Amino acid sequence: MTSQTFGKPDIEHANPLARTMLKKLDYDQLTNCMRCGFCLPACPTFRETGVEPESPRGRIALMKAVVDGVMEPDQAFEDQMNHCLGCRACEPVCPADVKYGQLIEQTRDAIEDHAEHSVAVKGVRKLFFRGVFPHQSRMKLLGRSLRLYQKSGLQKVARGTGVMKLFPSHMREMERILPEAASQGVIERLGERYPAKGERIATVALFRGCIMDVLFADTNVNTVKLLSEAGFDVVIPQTQGCCGALHAHSGEMDQARELARVNVKAFKDAGVDYIVSNAGGCGALLVEYDHLLHEDTAWADDAAWFAERVVDISTILVEKGRVPAFAEAVTATHAQVGLAPTSASSEASVTITYQDSCHLRNVMKGSAAPRKLMQSVAGAHFCEMRESDRCCGSAGIYNVTQPEMAGQILEHKMAHANATQAQYMLTSNPGCLLQMKLGIDKHGRSEDMKAMHIVDYLYERIAQSSGEA
Amino acid sequence: MADTAFAAKLRKIVGDRYYREDMEARVAHSYDGTPMLQALPDGVVYPASTAEVSAIMKVLAEHRVPLVSRGSGSNLCGGTVPVEGGVVMVMHRMNRIIEVDLENLTATVQPGIITAEFIAHIESLGLFYPPDPSSMRISTIGGNIAECSGGLRGLKYGTTKDYVIGLEAVLASGEIIRTGGKLMKDVAGYDLTKLLVGSEGTLAIITEATLKLIPPPRAKKTMLAMYRDLYGAARTVSRIIEARIIPATLEFMDNPTIRVVDDFAKLGLPLDMEAILLIEQDGDPEAVERDIALIEELCIAEHADRVQVAADRDEAERLLTARRSAFTALARLRPTTILEDATVPRSRIADMVLRINEIARKYDVTIATFGHAGDGNLHPTATTDARDHDEVHRVEQAFAEIFEASIELGGTITGEHGVGVVKAPYLEWKVGSAGLDMMKGIKQAFDPHRLLNPGKLFAKETRKRVVLQHD
């Protein structure tokens, strides 16, 4: 019948933030929320606090109230918007398909336009968002300094002298679990091309990530090797950069768009069939580059090309790798990733469990593939952790900016983790991996539970069965 | 903003943290699940006990401040929107299961417990609490009691009112009353328990409930039947009941719903079908098998085009997908979704669906109908855009005519959502002027100063009846 669209309210706001929000927020999405409340039980902050403003429905109502001129945005409003983890667990359960993730990012972007940060905060934000993340060479430099700190004995000195006690406790806990920084990234170690083993199925590009390639360079290397085993030629474009997710979640949308353009160009030039991500947090933004750049006519088409090629490592292994038929996925997966067949299930002495990456699950819809891969590991028993689909509290840099809520959420997570009695806690995202390491460390369980990226765990199994180191 | 005069007294009762007058709290309690309805309260209070509720009510009575008690605010009749301002009382902190009595088969709970969490606990003890409103993952037992919520199992197991056997409630004066108890028989005076169930927070604040539990059925089977003829589906419903079978679930979707659901969920449903029935039976395994076999025969006898009986739970889940997707599929069509619950005697379902389709065409609006065929409780659902004032007006006219049609067929304006604000102008159509006066008298007796959820149930004036044109 009517395809007429109705625009935004015709209001002249006196408040500058309200004016920017009116300009930046998608009013159709605000209207689409019908306030049924189905998102409330899915929301971690609502579950922790039990109060309506801490829910997606509440936050959307607050955004709409500002845009509609019902309320002036005050400090409490800004705090509430920053209290959201951005896990987007509310999106799959929303009957009306409201794009909450976009609304919260648009709101934070508007807030950031008017933010009056202290000089120190401004400096740190600028340093990281503009000065470090976008420049892989500087990320490496940072990595080397971290490595120097870890290797030179300074770390020992810092821990021994109690200097770390000068930092807030959550920063201190974080420092303890940081992995060893790598001096060489994936390209330095494997080159820009890595051939498929056996007949080539497709050519894929690895999205290496900025933090991944410094703190988890081994995972990048293992991802490339796994892809090769499964029949993919792998290209690693040198000119790619940071995905921009941390920027987008923190209200630095222009910077996020700038990074997106760099990546779209890098991968378009490489001309690949798929773009593989091994970090749910990055992948979820990459897969939405089309939305991020949809108003940029010069880039919209290429961004759409990019977005439709983005796929998570587990998904491409299961869906496109050497798997003859879906029904035989369990046995076929063994052949594909080179795991020994499940002949000795009786000796399943190892228990593995999994913490979903919220963005891989809720945005990339990739919750089934990692489980399929884990269930196919010979001699291992996959135990589903209770509420594995719920956020662990890491949420990008949330555990640094909102330590109290993040800690509370992590405590609940660890209770479920401990109940699985698993020896391995696998994840699909660096943030979740660090958070789970932190939880295991805090609970004094480092001896009997190890947090690993699923790629590393799977590749270790291949290396063992094929006699490689 | 300056505190209201009663703020200090309320803070003294619940503590600073649990009484709020800031804009964040006020905006976040200005709405419920009802489209196009919003009003700001003056304050929001979160009590932790019956004693606190009573003390709060005494303060508000003294200052003549209205109070709206609520759970999660998922109702669809505007039942918890504070249309006359005042204080919103959120019951979420009172969310304990006080006791499950295995000898008397009762559970005693506080009102703020989430329905699905309560049900999960009860089922873990091997017991059954049947009321299952679609919002149960978020709704509270207190809210279910206030609205007398129904659900998919209403036909065989009844609705919330059939399971509430005792209440503790705070009156408008702040006094505490207890009604009923762990009793299957109790005729001591008027049945205040039943009166409070479905009273939409207008008579008292429910602070504790004693609920009846039953043993769970041992087996369950699911089937689907599709019809080219709407009357074939309707006759099947009647014949199942005539055959002395009461199915656990007997759900219905009309053609506009089938089209929308198929487009959304890509289920490959035949789009030329006029109706789909989703039928479930539970009970002892042998009885379930016998009933389902007989129902299958009845479906075929009424010319069902296709009948599918699920072999196992996985297949059953697939069959249930179509019906479960109905609301979601409709909600995604347009920004605003208005879900009504006109209810008719089950023998008149086909007539009612045809009337709804006719009315939708007449006002040029999109209305799809699905619902609980077994108990005649239909959900004609309009999809529109709140910003299109002309279309919204036509939707309102269409619904007025649907309510009229429903009453004409011996039905009611609302089967399970409640009257609230949305259907207050139509209440007199159903209960008559003497009936309405009697209800107002009851309200007066409980709440002489109109403090509890004012502006609900009773409209300033009744809407003029639509003059129906018949061919």
The pTM for the full model equals: 0.88
Q: Which residues of B touch A38 (CB under 8 A)?
A: 135, 137-138
- Provide the shortest C-alpha distance from residue B32 to chain A (in Å): 6
B265 part of contact set with chain A, CB < 8 Å? no
Q: CA geometry: angle at A53 spanning B12 and B47, to 5°?
A: 30
Query: Can you tell me the distance from the alpha carbon of A245 to that of A429, in angstroms, rounded to the nearest whole number?
Result: 13
* Sequence letter at residue B14: V
Q: State whether the Cα torsion B235-B236-B241-B244 is positive or negative.
A: positive
Q: Does the distance separating the beta carbons of B23 and A72 come in below 8 Å?
A: yes
Q: Does the distance separating the beta carbons of A76 and B24 come in below 8 Å?
A: yes
Residue A348: φ, ψ to 5°: -70, 80
Q: What share of chain B is helix, strand, coil (3-state, %, to 5)?
A: 40, 20, 40
Q: Does the distance separating the beta carbons of B35 and A51 come in below 8 Å?
A: no
The residues with which B372 forms a beta bridge, in sequence order, are: B251, B377
Q: Does the distance separating the beta carbons of A6 and B387 come in below 8 Å?
A: yes
Which of the 8 DSSP states describes residue A85?
-
ipTM of the complex: 0.93
The residues with which A450 forms a beta bridge, in sequence order, are: A424
* Test mutation, A10, A35, A43, A45, chain B, max B CBs within 10 A: A35
Q: Which residues of B touch A61 (CB under 8 A)?
A: 27-28, 30-31
Which of the 8 DSSP states describes residue B125?
T
Query: Can you tell me the distance from the alpha carbon of B145 to that of A76, in angstroms, rounded to the nearest whole number?
Result: 34
B328 part of contact set with chain A, CB < 8 Å? yes
* Residue in A34, A76, A80 closest to B337 by CB: A34
β-strand pairing of A350-354 with A380-382: parallel
Please report, in tens digits, the pLDDT of each residue of chain B (471 residues total): 557 889 999 999 999 999 999 999 999 999 999 999 999 999 999 999 999 999 999 999 999 999 999 999 999 999 999 999 999 999 999 999 999 999 999 999 999 999 999 999 999 999 999 999 989 999 999 999 999 999 889 999 999 999 999 999 999 999 999 999 999 999 999 999 999 999 999 999 999 999 999 999 999 999 999 999 998 998 999 899 999 999 999 999 999 999 988 888 888 888 999 999 999 999 999 999 999 999 999 999 999 999 999 999 888 988 888 888 888 889 888 999 999 999 999 889 989 999 999 999 999 999 999 999 999 999 999 999 989 999 999 999 999 999 999 999 999 999 999 999 999 999 999 999 999 999 999 999 999 999 999 999 999 888 887 655 444
* Cβ-based neighbours of B285, under 8 Å, separated by 6 or more: B218, B219
End-to-end Cα separation, chain A, in angstroms: 65
Report whether A313 contacts A278 (CB < 8 A): yes
Q: Which residues of A touch B391 (CB under 8 A)?
A: 2
Nearest to A256 by CA among A129, A125, A135: A129
Q: Does the distance separating the beta carbons of B29 and A52 come in below 8 Å?
A: yes
Closest-CA residue of chain B to A51: B92
Q: Which residues of A touch B93 (CB under 8 A)?
A: 50
- Provide the shortest C-alpha distance from residue B347 to chain A (in Å): 31
3-state secondary structure of A151: helix
Nearest to A274 by CA among A245, A325, A233, A242: A233
Query: Can you tell me the distance from the alpha carbon of A4 to that of A380, in angstroms, rounded to the nearest whole number?
Result: 56
Q: Which residues of A touch B73 (CB under 8 A)?
A: 35, 37, 52
Q: Which residues of B touch A48 (CB under 8 A)?
A: none
Which token pair is B296? 């299958």
